[in-house]
Structure 1
């Protein structure tokens, strides 16, 4: 009886070994499918705005939510001063004494009325710069921080390039219309919004920037205690909408009325940038456009999470591991293992009917052995072609190499059982 069983077991063992030697593999990639709830929402049309160039930006990610020729270059007038202010805050000290040169004192209106030879504390001049938009103040600050207006302009252009504002060119620190051998003083609505994003969310001086630009009124004297200078904030948007955070106006003959501002509602922060938004007597156009764009953002964009802890498509990502073995019967099929994205979720402002696209890229020729936790690819999430987040894809389990010994051991274990 024992011999008969042994003979049958031997035959069974030989057949299994023969089948195992003929196994082959074919890698398969499975990616998440895109799906989104189709819900109607109001659309903003460019024709509804007075501004020739405008954008609405999500301040957290920098994604442009709406654009009207937002990448077109145009003069930006005194919205320039947000860059002047942030560079002064980052490179100067509020207690610095700023001397007034003849060039600074000779700047046209709007001006503080400073005289050559006077000195002011940098802190006081920053309120003059941002609340009243004084042109002489901007030059005095530029000369103090950069050594000269031209050197400060170089600092401005360098910072713009660092921020990815590749369609911006600064000549003056105050935004007065200017032109040199490289072109005119200009930016785009998109670049202007990006600069504001930096000022309020990224700069080490962001809290000081917000404190200055949100102040309603401010008075000061020069360093010797002479004179009394009063500044009133001309950013009407601060009292126009709940959550208004900051902003800067501007106007020149070439630029027209310009504005850049930010609003915070709950955990959402929006930035609006407007260029060429009317000329006299249309001073109120910029406020109308700002309200319209901010309202559009508030009514239509809400946060959704993207990342390893949230799968918007309820899809599983699996891969076949060539010649892999995970503990089950080592037959002709490859080993299937689950993979998952690793990293913290990213919040994205989206419309309800807006799709999140995902693209999975795996390394070529995924073959055993694969250890749990090993990165075998990445998943990229994007919206309307704009990349939002990239996560590494890692194996959730180990796949050993399916060797002859593993197959033999598996068969022997069956026989012994």
Structure 2
């Protein structure tokens, strides 16, 4: 791999985290903001529509658990963990205070129920049990959390535990929490947990436990399907919220509100503004092959190109997307070997000669490097006119 392609690979995670980088809007302040920090972000494009102190770090409280859920979902999708795996509760997990489902040392609970306990009831004990199941210890899991922070390019976040209980040097910004929420919501199965309003654990036993979502907006705001509340005396009231209507999904994060009522008002005002003002226009579905590009010195002469995530543009209501133009830009000559998923360039979307999105383009399949004998035979075939 050349130096240029290495640099592209290094930057790709950052670009994918930011999503389709739109220049159509600058963040506004169309709502009254009394909390310490707030951000409103569109899911597909990553476009920031409102922000207030969004890069300032504060204690995230239980919004920390979004990272715990994200790492769990990644492990499940990678096949390292199964929803039906049984987890044995440690003394440490059972000792957690604050919001909990009252796990007991030695008790077993399947991963599915522990995730439900985290997403719905914000169980501190369930978070530690999951952390220990994934990494062996919560300390090692925290290392995984902070490695993911670095991978996502987050610069105002550092974790010290898996659940958000108060700890020195445990902090996050609203922007970084929005990015984590966005990554979590890319896992399609997560909303079957985060959208639950009420449910039960240990149903039919003497230890039956009633779960009620700490995010009451799940039951009252149209389209709300996540993600995570947070509260400690130091952090005050926070919420990372996700709501979807039609093709549009928005992520809103508020930190440091003085009351649950104020927290919910900030979130609903921000989401109302988004749904009333903007429209999401889907252009390319997830994983679609959008073309092919020549490959030098490969067993195949071309490599198909695809987008990893859905491609959309965000426009003001009433603006059409019919005049959106697409241009495929490859960073340099592609030389084998090529690895499936390797970033090779970008798809640039323009409207009225302005760039509205730059979307990472990936190799859709492997292309192995050809042997000298194979290249020699190919050259002979061309010279003889057989191909």
> TM-score normalised by the shorter chain: which range applies?
0.5 to 0.7
Aligned to 1:330: none
Contact 1:73/1:167, CA 8 A, preserved across alignment = yes
2:163 corresponds to which residue?
174
Matched, 1:252 2:221: no
Tell me how far 1:240 sits from its aligned partner: 2.5
Specify which of 278, 281, 285 is matched with residue 262 of structure 2. 285
Alignment of 1:205-284 (within 5 A): 206-207=188-189, 209-221=190-202, 227-278=207-258, 282-284=259-261
The answer to whether structure 1 residue 350 and structure 2 residue 315 are counterparts is: yes
Matched with 2:174 is: 189
Q: Distance in 2 between matches of 1:285 and 1:100?
A: 36
Q: CA deviation at 1:112?
A: 1.6
* Alignment deviations for residues 361-398 of structure 1 (CA, whole Å, 9 cap, x no partner): x9xxxxxxxxxxxxxx9967599x99722699xxxxxx
**SS of corresponding position for 1:54:** strand
1:382 and 1:114, CA in 2 relative to 1: closer, same or farther beyond 3 A?
farther
Q: Secondary structure at the match of 1:153?
A: helix
Correspondence for 1:57: 41
Most deviating of 235-244 and 252-261: 235-244
**Which residue matches 2:11?**
none
Contact 2:196 2:218 in 1 (8 A): no
TM-score by length of 1: 0.61
Is the counterpart of residue 131 in structure 1 residue 120 in structure 2? yes
Maintained 8 Å contact 1:381/1:389: no
- State the shift of 1:230 in Å: 2.0
Give 1:85's match in structure 2, choosing from 39, 63, 69: 69
CA RMSD of aligned residues (A): 3.7
Residue 32 of structure 2 aligns with which residue? Answer: 48
Pair 1:382–1:248, CA change in 2 (3 A): farther
- Give me the whole-angstrom Cα distance separating, in 1, the residues matched to 2:347 and 2:246: 32
Larger Rg: 1
Shift of 1:306: 8.6
- Assess, with a 3 A threshold, how the Cα gap between structure 1 residues 110 and 304 changes in structure 2: closer, same or farther: closer
**Do residues 388 (structure 1) and 357 (structure 2) align?**
yes
Equivalent pairs counted in the alignment come to 291
* Cross-structure match for 2:279: 302
Q: Could you state the TM-score of these two structures normalised by the residue count of structure 2?
A: 0.66
Indicate if the aligned counterparts of 1:237 and 1:247 stay in contact, CA closer than 8 A.
no
Judged with a 3 Å threshold, the aligned counterparts in structure 2 of structure 1 residues 390 and 107 are, in CA distance, closer, same or farther, namely: closer
Higher relative contact order (CA 8 A, sep 6+): 1
What is the SS of the residue equivalent to 2:73? helix
Q: Deviations over 1:302-334 (max 9, x none)?
A: 246899xxxxxxxxxxxxxxxxxxxxxxxxxxx
| Residue aligning to 2:379 | none
Deviation at 1:164, TM superposition (A): 2.6
Structure 2, unmatched stretches of 5+, are 1-23, 76-80, 285-304, 330-345, 362-387
What secondary structure is seen at the aligned counterpart in 2 of 1:194?
Answer: helix
Secondary structure of 1:284's partner? helix
**Given that residues 82 and 248 in structure 1 are in contact (C-alpha distance below 8 angstroms), is that contact kept between their aligned partners in structure 2?**
yes
* CA apart distance, 1:199: 1.2
